[in-house]
Structure 1
Amino acid sequence: MDDRELLELAAKAVDLQWMSFGDNGAWIAGRETLWNPLTDDGDALRLANKLRMRIEHHVRHPFVAVFAGKDFDAVKAEEPHEVDVDAATRRAIVRAAAEIGRAM
């Protein structure tokens, strides 16, 4: 799944009205700036909060896991973070949200 599809499905999961895809994110109805939780920490945190996600960073293995859904077991996304833990966390959040959006 490419970034555009991830963002479209993640927006659907939180009922954001998708308008178009720009060079650096998505234009969402009612927003004056691009929405891109893949690159923006604030957008990613708001997405995770809205979907009540649980985020776990593993000490022994370089990956982050995101859990969502009833009892945090319906959706799970893992992302390795050898270099950039913040980018991996944002991507895992968006991947989990996209799975929720796909199921809607």
Structure 2
Amino acid sequence: MRERELLELAAKAYGIGPVIGFEDGQLVIGPIRQRRYWGPLNQDGDAARLAAKLNMDVSFRGEGDERVVQVNDTIMFVNSDLACGNEMKAYREAVVSVAAEIGRLL
């Protein structure tokens, strides 16, 4: 799934819009005169607000190559970013992926 599509589905789950564009890895949320940028794949704060709004329980488990991000009880993500020590990137990607799946079901 492309980045824009992933973000649009996550935005649907979050309940924001309308989406009027996509720039530098972020959605442009309108209306035009009041537009703002929303980028939970790149912005820790946007990802944290998304997780909170959707009542996600996000945690890290394991060590080294066995490290995973767990979201809620059943969805687990194995991510090479964790092995490289980039926990926040792994956190953002996991949150957006779960939110996109929620948005797809709406």
TM tier relative to shorter chain:
0.7 to 0.9
Task: Tell me the residue number matched to 2:50.
Answer: 47
1:97 paired to 2:102: no
The count of aligned residue pairs is 98
User: Which residue identity is paired with 2:39?
Assistant: N
Which aligned pairs between 1:4-83 and structure 2 lie closer than 5 A?
A: 4-17=4-17, 18-29=19-30, 32-60=35-63, 61-67=66-72, 72=73, 76-80=75-79, 81-83=82-84
1:29–1:79 Cα change, 3 Å: farther
Q: Say which one has the larger Rg.
A: 2
Unpaired runs of 5+ residues, structure 2, are: none
Q: Percent identity?
A: 40
Indicate if the aligned counterparts of 1:24 and 1:36 stay in contact, CA closer than 8 A: yes
Higher helix share: 2
Unpaired runs of 5+ residues, structure 1, are: none
| TM-score, scaled relative to structure 1 | 0.84
Deviant stretches of 4+, over 4 Å: none
State the Cα deviation string for residues 52-77 of structure 1 (Å, max 9, x = none). 0011201332221212xxxx55xx25
